[in-house]
Every structure is written in C-alpha cells, then in structure tokens.
Amino acid sequence: MLGKVLSPEGLDHIAGHKYVAGKYTPLDNLLNGWWLGLAEALPTWLAPNLVTLLGFVPMMLCYVLMWFASPTLEDPAPRSLAMLTSFAVFFYQTMDALDGKQARRTGSSTPLGQLFDHGCDCLACLSHHSVATMLFLPGGSLWGAAGLSALQTGFFMAQWQEYHTGVLRTSFGPVGVTETQFALMGGALAAGIVGPERLRAFITSMTVVPWSGESQQNGVFFIQGWSTFMGILVLLSMAKTLTTVVKIGGAAGALRAILQLTPVVMLNLLLFLVWDPVVYSPCARKVCLLTGLLFCFYTAQMILFSMARMRFPELQLGTLVPYGALALSSRVLSAEQMDIALTVASVVVAVWVFLWLCRVINELKDKLGIYAFTLQKRSD
C-alpha cells in the first residue's frame, strides 16, 4: 500500500501554484489563432484533462502498433501506419495546445491540470521515440537508446529548471517542442508517401561523417545529430539554472540542485555502460520501454515536487538498484531469459508508476475539491 506522497505544506503550496510558461516560438505564434478557434469550438462541459487524454490515446495506440510492426526497431512501418502516426502526432500536438485554453475558457485551471498535462507529455516521449525509430531504424544499436535518452533527459532538465527558476522553458530561440513535433509529423508523412522500401534504402545508405572520417548509416547520423543538439540544450539549461541558484542559495544551493540530477545521471550510466550490447540488441525495444518508464517516473516527481516546493528525492534506490541488477544480469543471462525478465520488470514498474500517479491525483482532488475528468466540483 502506498503512503501519502505530499505533505500538508506541499498540498498548500500546490493549491496556490501558478504555472509560468516559457516564450512562444514563431511557429507557436503562427498557430495560436488556429488553436484559439478550435478551443472555442469545444463544448464547455468538456474538462481540460479529458482534452489532454483524448489527444494522448492515439499516440499510445500507434506506439502499440509500431511494437508489432517493428519489434526489433529495424523495420520501417507500412504506409498506412506511417500515415496514421503522422496524424496521431498532429492530433496530440493540437489537443495538447487546446487543453490549457479550454481550462482558461471554462475557468477550470488547476495545478492538477498541469501535472496531468505534463505527465502525459512525459509518457508521450516514449511514443515520440517510437516514431523516430520508425524513421531512423536503429535496430539493436545503442544509438536507438541514445535518442530516447537525449529526449527524456532534456524533458527532465526542463522540469528541473522550472523547479529552481519557476519558469518552464519549452523552446531554445526559434526552435521548441512544437517544431520538434512537426518534424516528426513531417517525417512520418514522408515515410508514408515514399513507402517502406525507399525509406529503408535511404536510411541504411552509408555516409562519411566529418567527426570520424568513417562511413555509417544515415539513420545513425541523424540520431547523432539529435543527441548532440539535445546535449547542448541540456548543458545550456544547467548553466543557466545554476547561475540563478547560486544567486539565491550560493554554492550550497547549487550543490543541492546538482544532486537532484543523480537519478537521471545514474540511469544514463547504467543504460550505456552496464547492459551487455549482445543481449541488449534483440531486447532493444523492451529495454527502451523500461528505461523510459523510469525517466517518466523521475520527471513526474520533479514536476510534482516543484509545484509542492518539496524536496526531490535524489537517490531513488528503490528503482535504480533493481534496474542496475537487471542490467548486470544481461552479462550472465541469455537473450531469451532477459526478454522474460524485462517483460516482468516493465509490468511491475508500469503498475507502480500508475498507482503512484493515482495516489497523487487523489490527494490533489481531495485538497482542491475537484474531479479529474469533469468540471463538476466535489461536495464536502
């Protein structure tokens, strides 16, 4: 049985929390009129969290379909699935833009909405990664995991920055979340147009890369570019955040802030240094799922404790130790045995995270006197 997640003081802080978004990109500003018009067309009884959920469901459906279409991350999707995925990303991105506008339109903005919205965004990273693997076909290479790591580490860092600065930055100059999602839409649409044969021929073609002078597949080249871009953003985010933290809390505050990165740093180290590459290769999708779920758990905690102004648990031994033990087991177990172990571990972690989220949502509903998926207020 899970105990209380939030302290009474934390619940009070969340009740008074006000979300501060980062700056819009030029594309956001261009689309804002379209989003406002769509928001006005939504029924006034539709709860904002339900808008978020409606947009999220097609993404998860495509994630499941891609699992069956490409279980080893090395097969392109059929035309129909690529087209469906492009639409699903567009629908998700649109509904994600509408939920906040619907909340303001109906006067139902709550901290629970921010947690639910950003929690779904975090889980959607798994589906976004699946779309990228459909395009770049990393197969059993660790570069597939690197793409996931770059995406979810970047998302965690954005929440970490909000924890210390009070502002959630979703862009870097003219490039942000919206541009990234449109790039995925365009890539999936192009994959549907050209077909799986031509996509495979292009992605598996060899290119000489300038930093090594050796040839490698185009798909790996694109993943390396993405990982480098996200790595730069992570470093810039860290530098900017620590500058703010030092001004407020000095060196001690900066040390505490850095220690909060421990779970994500350890998870990345375990992912890339401990897993046996030979055993990882046939289990790549399941390793990415398990790792992604842990990224989501840590990020959801950062979102929650940022709003509650509570201490983020730095060690996370309850999840990192079992994950590390499983990664070490890949050195002695066969691929078939690891496949079973990964299935069991993923189910356990998914159930644990689900129960944790349910506990948090119930605590917030009780504190705020609201329901999650209806505009009706809860009676005493």
Q: Which of 255, 343, 307, 330 is nearest to 110 (CA)?
A: 307
Confidence of residue 376 (pLDDT cuts 50, 70, 90): confident
What integer pLDDT is reported at residue 285 of this predicted model?
95
Burial class (CB in 10 A: 0-12, 13-18, 19+), 68: exposed
Residue 8 CA to residue 6 CA, distance in Å, equals 7
What are the extents of the domains in the chain? 8-368
The two tokens of residue 161 are 């920055």
Find the DSSP H helices in 45-141.
Answer: 48-69, 79-106, 111-136
List, for residues 213-235, the tens digit of each pLDDT value: 778 889 998 999 999 999 999 99
What integer pLDDT is reported at residue 147 of this predicted model?
93
pLDDT over threshold 50, residue 184: yes
What beta strand segments (E) does 224-284 contain?
none
Q: What is the DSSP letter of 77?
A: P
List, for residues 265-316, the tens digit of each pLDDT value: 999 999 999 999 999 999 999 999 999 999 999 999 999 999 999 999 998 9
Residues 326 and 271: beta-carbon distance below 8 Å: no
Q: What is the DSSP letter of 1?
A: -
Q: Active-site residue numbers?
A: 118
Mean pLDDT, rounded, for 52-64: 94
